[in-house]
Amino acid sequence: MKIPDNTSPDPDSDAGLMSQVAEGNLAAFEQLLCRYQKPTWSLAYRFIGDPSEAEDIVQKAFMNIFEAAPRYRPSARFRTYLYQVVANLCRDHRAKKRPMFADASHVSDPAVSADELILENQRAAAIRSALDALPAKQRIVILLRHFEGLSYEEIARVMKTSVKAVDSLLQRARHSLQRILAEWK
């Protein structure tokens, strides 16, 4: 009687799919791509502010993930690992070129009046400007926490720092945003 191996990941889980990718399964890679392409593009777009550059970053991130698949060990959630790759690429991009924040979630409602739409556009521009004024680490921690919904622990893994440092970065970033946006009000 063969004892089942409970140490192998569920084949439909992210870790299971990465295991299959490591063995050359392109369909498994496509599943990961379908699961995470939109949220990673959204993160990159919010950080970079240019849709085509965000797409380039996401493509590079997935190529890096594909190439690293044989070395991948699921010590953290795959999403955390992927966001770490995207965040690093965004920071590298920012070091080469000063990007502008963009809000990928803003969609105008036809029931909204022109005055409300103008006010909303002004508010979004103020937020973009305030986020763009933040240092890169503060900016990425705000994006990961408030736009991507990552926990402090996940952010710490993405940024290769401690939970206490994430908390401190968030506090400083929020304080800076409040100060900058107080002028807008």
CATH code for the domain of 54 = 1.10.1740.10
> ∠ at Cα 138 (42, 36), nearest 5°?
25
Q: What is the pLDDT of residues 80-94, one digit of tens each?
A: 889 999 999 998 887
**Would the pTM count as exceeding 0.85?**
no
Establish if 164 belongs to a structural domain: yes
Task: State which residues form the domain around 174.
Answer: 14-184
Question: How many angstroms separate the CA atoms of 41 and 143, rounded?
Answer: 12
Average pLDDT taken over every residue of the chain: 82
Query: Backbone phi, then psi, for 76, in 5-degree steps?
Result: -135, 170
Establish if 74 belongs to a structural domain: yes
Query: Backbone phi, then psi, for 66, in 5-degree steps?
Result: -60, -45
Establish if 2 belongs to a structural domain: no
Q: What is the pLDDT of residues 130-149, one digit of tens each?
A: 888 888 889 889 988 888 88
Number of folded domains that form the chain = 1
Establish if 70 belongs to a structural domain: yes
User: pLDDT tier at 185 (50, 70, 90 boundaries)?
Assistant: low
Q: What is the pLDDT of residues 147-183, one digit of tens each?
A: 888 899 999 988 889 999 999 999 999 998 888 888 7
Establish if 5 belongs to a structural domain: no
Q: How far is CA 72 from CA 22, 28, 162, 163, in A?
A: 8, 14, 22, 23
Establish if 1 belongs to a structural domain: no
For residue 3, pLDDT beyond 70: no
Which residues are within 8 A (CB) of 73 and not within 5 positions of it... i.e. 6 or more apart? Answer: none
Question: How many angstroms separate the CA atoms of 100 and 51, rounded?
Answer: 11
Establish if 130 belongs to a structural domain: yes
Establish if 6 belongs to a structural domain: no
